[in-house]
Structure 1
Amino acid sequence: MRTSIATVCLSGSLTEKLHACAAAGFDGVEIMDADLTSAYESPEEIRALCARLGLSIDLFQPFRDFEGVDEVTLADNLRRAEAKFDIMERIGADTILLCSNVGTATVDDDEVAARQLGQLADLAAARGIRIAYEALAWGRYVDDYRHAWRIVQLADRPNLGVCLDSFHILSRGHDPAGIEQIDGDKIFFLQLADAPALQMDVLSWSRHHRLFPGEGDFALTAFLSHVIRAGYTGPLSLEVFNDTFRQTDAVRTAAHARRSLTWLADRTATENGWSEDRLVSAQAAHGIDFVEVAGADLSDMDQMLAQLGFAFRGRHRSKPVRLWSAGDARIILNEQAKHEQAQVAGFGLVVDDAAAAVERALALGAPSVFRRTYAGEHELRAVAAPDGTEVYWHDQPADESWATEFDGGSTIGATAGVIDHVNLGYRWQDFDDAVLFAASALSLTAESSSDVPSPNGLVRSQVMRTEDGVVRLPMNLAPPTAPLPTRHIAVRCDDAIAVARHARAAGLTFLPIPRNYYDDLSARFDLDEGFLATLQELDLFYDRDADGEFIHFYTPTVGGVFLEIVERRGGYDGYGAVNAPVRLAAQRATAH
């Protein structure tokens, strides 16, 4: 698989974009005319830089509003084309993207369009340049790839072919199966983009809301399958217009983009039974092994875990690290980390083959994490997620696990449970990257997203999980002007009320919940008065649906972390989303 990316996908100057593309491992680039026009470097200097970076220049784009015009306009269009061909020769590009006419077309006649494209192709042929004709979804007369292909056939020039763009085809609902009817040698270029399913004009949708493959609702694996079956052998290239990506760090966005292509190629090959472009098989997680909280001073976390009934398992034999557990829920406190205040810094997943899980993540561009290991200590291999969160994998029996390296504690505590979910907060520029990493490297699938009202605006919540729910990572996207959402660890137990009573008796103060919440709870549900009084006494939240009930409460925030104790009754599978606005408001009130 050869990979390419349009420079319009990234922020920064043209040279910054090229360096980012090379660092991410792309093979080539599409040079956007606007990027070159605004660059201080000459076309020759850009050509030389690409050569030094090992990047091929796969496409120069775009050339607009050419065909379907009167003769006077055609003459001027040919003059414009000659000038761009001069630039292409200087920069070293041999293929130009020609978009179907949007603004100046006045002749709705395929024979005229084909004749005019033929004239353009003849001019280009004298310079060894190919023309890739693309049907824009909003083209005046040509807005369907099948129509573009018919015109290319009519023109009948060896250096005239089509460019297929997944957005222009799938956004209009056109059937991509027809791609297999196109001669593969005449598919001169392929551009890929995903997008959410939105009801809006297609031009605005295209210009502002495209996503990298795997992040939207387009069936890109099926689309790419049709292209490859048609015989296309050129690069898989990304053309993603997105307001967020064009504002964020170019190096990180390029790495994000490259991961999306690797994952798309792997999924496409897997679905078709192809051996090429396959990654090592995904490893389904069987549970969360531990969650790590890191910070300079975690004594307040020690106290809070003790009050909740966790057992102190001891100190690590060689590192300033402590382990607390409540049954199978294990929390590591790491004071050797760089973070000033406490924060969720990593987590471990239980899988069948840890080495394969790491290999897959590395192939998807995740950097390896170094963990100093002494003789006799268990080696847990890890990678860093795009935001720096460390992900470890473990596949050894419990009696040989890393937990035996902690001495001086006990396994007996007042509370027993498992890690129900780890709630992770992200800034607006990091959210899509985090979701893609969870899907591609951690093999988690996305539930439907929801919007949660908060005092700082709507918080978008996207849960990534295993099919059976044993691993759940709710991911929260903060409004652009709001603080980063605090991360928290949710521990599921059999009796949240008993845990709450124990913690209260041990001196732990929970997040205080206003009385108005319980008045509303009484109105929404016909609860036993004694049960409602218990909920209010202990500052507990409650929810119910057709499948079961949910009782949960929150601890105070320590640094950048808080804990949630949850109890699921029956088949309740949610997260008490209806309670989130009250929780967020209470946390904001107690933070001041």
Structure 2
Amino acid sequence: MSISKDSLSSIPTCYATVSVGTPNHNLEEKLKAIAGAGFQGIELGFPDLLSFASKNLGRDVGPQEFDILCNSGLEVKRICTELGLKIVMLQPFSNFEGWKPQSAERKDAYKRAKGWIKIMEALGTDMLQVGSTDSPIPTARDVAVSDLKELADLLAPHNFRLAYENWCWSTHAPDWKDVWEIVKKVDRPNVGLCLDTFQTAGGEWADPTTQSGLLEGEESREAIEKKFQESLQSLAATIPPEKIYILQISDAYRPKTPLDSDPDENGLRPRGRWSSCLRPVPFDGGYLPVVDVAKAILKTGFRGWFSMEVFDGGPDGQDQEWKDMPGYTKKAMNAHERLLREVADA
């Protein structure tokens, strides 16, 4: 499928609130920076909502104080309306699927789900991002499918959608093919995909534990590249555009020193650590084939939300001072506009 410039002109632009500043920064200032750069919507990060509620109340608000978080959600919605921003999605809802029946973890997962649904009602958003779990407990695919069916059915009476994302360090669904197979088996009209340039290229093309920053092994570099391009061609030919709910955009820095291949003290795998602080906007020092991934997704016919979701600690992975949030969001908009120019065929 050809990608014409005209077909890209109406793509809506979104920005994740967790991708500028930190949760300690004022959420309203973040929102002003996002709107000022020309973005039309936001992904609201749950840590930002927690921080906003805590500052308003003058004490730390817990993640399950849902009534308070709903009241804060109403205020966030008001601010967004004044700024002309749509709240596209609440994120990230993780470690939901795969827990043992009657376990404390499973009960907690369902309590969180019902609480987040209330928050979504307050925010006026209809989409929940669910990341493929990275639980150390092995998750059978049929169990994940069954659990996600139940979550979809909890969302359906509210006309809410579930956007399922592959996390490239996930224990059971690290690739786009994995989450697509799960979404097909869930077979609910309100379940689709959250695709991500980092999660795709960072899992199938790159490897932060190698000196080169690329996948290495017994196969030649040419064979690995060929396999990746074949995967992108399969994506373009396989996924119906209506089943892609949102595309998240970010690049990645090549780690200066290869990351340890073992999980850290918190159990986080190397790609998870890489994801948390080494993800700049495209064309700003990263090395992933972001354009190739975006092209493949656009070749499905998808023309929905493009969302900048970056975690930019600089090439060293250190926290930024964030003295100029408006400048950073404008740089992100420039990257978005360049990406659209580079993916267009004519």
Give the whole-Å Cα distance in 1 for the aligned partners of 2:151 and 2:43: 21
Instruction: After superposition, give the CA deviation of every residue in 1:548-581 in whole Å (9 maximum; x if it has no partner).
Output: xxxxxxxxxxxxxxxxxxxxxxxxxxxxxxxxxx
> Is 1:6 matched up with 2:16?
yes
More strand by share: 1
Give the whole-Å Cα distance in 1 for the aligned partners of 2:321 and 2:86: 25
Partner residue of 2:193 out of 162, 170, 175: 162
Partner residue of 2:242 out of 185, 189, 208: 185
> Is 1:255 matched up with 2:330?
yes
Q: Return the letter of the residue paired with 2:333.
A: R
The correspondence of residues 86-485 of structure 1 with structure 2, limited to 5 A, is 86-103=118-135, 106-173=137-204, 175=228, 176-180=232-236, 181-198=238-255, 199-200=258-259, 201-215=270-284, 216-244=286-314, 246-248=320-322, 249-269=324-344, 272-273=345-346
Rg (Cα) greater in structure: 1
Q: CA 1:85–1:147 in 2, change beyond 3 Å: closer, same or farther?
A: same
Q: Return the letter of the residue paired with 1:15.
A: E
Deviation of 1:142 after TM superposition, in Å, equals 1.5
Partner of 1:60: 90
Give the whole-Å Cα distance in 1 for the aligned partners of 2:342 and 2:312: 24
In structure 1, the gaps of 5 or more residues are 274-592
Question: What is the aligned-residue RMSD (CA, Å)?
Answer: 1.5
- Kept after mapping to 1: 8 A contact 2:156/2:190: yes
Question: Normalising by structure 2, what TM-score?
Answer: 0.75
**Taking every aligned residue pair, what percent have the same amino acid on both sides?**
33
Deviation of 1:154 after TM superposition, in Å, equals 0.5
Give the whole-Å Cα distance in 2 for the aligned partners of 1:194 and 1:156: 31
Instruction: After superposition, give the CA deviation of every residue in 1:270-299 in whole Å (9 maximum; x if it has no partner).
Output: xx22xxxxxxxxxxxxxxxxxxxxxxxxxx
Deviation of 1:76 after TM superposition, in Å, equals 2.8
Give the whole-Å Cα distance in 2 for the aligned partners of 1:265 and 1:213: 11
Partner residue of 2:49 out of 22, 36, 39: 36
Deviation of 1:2 after TM superposition, in Å, equals 1.1
In structure 2, the gaps of 5 or more residues are 1-10, 57-71, 206-227, 260-269
Secondary structure of the residue that 1:230 maps to in structure 2?
coil
Give the whole-Å Cα distance in 1 for the aligned partners of 2:320 and 2:301: 33
Q: CA 1:246–1:47 in 2, change beyond 3 Å: closer, same or farther?
A: farther
Partner residue of 2:101 out of 51, 65, 71: 71
Give the whole-Å Cα distance in 2 for the aligned partners of 1:53 and 1:246: 26
Secondary structure of the residue that 1:232 maps to in structure 2?
coil
Deviation of 1:221 after TM superposition, in Å, equals 1.6
Give the paired residue count: 270
Deviation of 1:68 after TM superposition, in Å, equals 1.6
Instruction: After superposition, give the CA deviation of every residue in 1:175-227 in whole Å (9 maximum; x if it has no partner).
Output: 33332111111111110101133333322221111110112111222211111
Give the whole-Å Cα distance in 2 for the aligned partners of 1:134 and 1:185: 15
Secondary structure of the residue that 2:253 maps to in structure 1?
coil
More helix by share: 2
Give the whole-Å Cα distance in 2 for the aligned partners of 1:209 and 1:171: 11
Instruction: After superposition, give the CA deviation of every residue in 1:451-503 in whole Å (9 maximum; x if it has no partner).
Output: xxxxxxxxxxxxxxxxxxxxxxxxxxxxxxxxxxxxxxxxxxxxxxxxxxxxx
Give the whole-Å Cα distance in 2 for the aligned partners of 1:267 and 1:195: 18
- More relative contact order, 1 or 2 (CA 8 Å, 6+ apart): 2
Give the whole-Å Cα distance in 2 for the aligned partners of 1:178 and 1:131: 23
Question: Normalising by structure 1, what TM-score?
Answer: 0.44
Q: Return the letter of the residue paired with 2:88.
A: D
Q: Return the letter of the residue paired with 2:108.
A: D
Deviation of 1:84 after TM superposition, in Å, equals 0.5
> Is 1:50 matched up with 2:60?
no
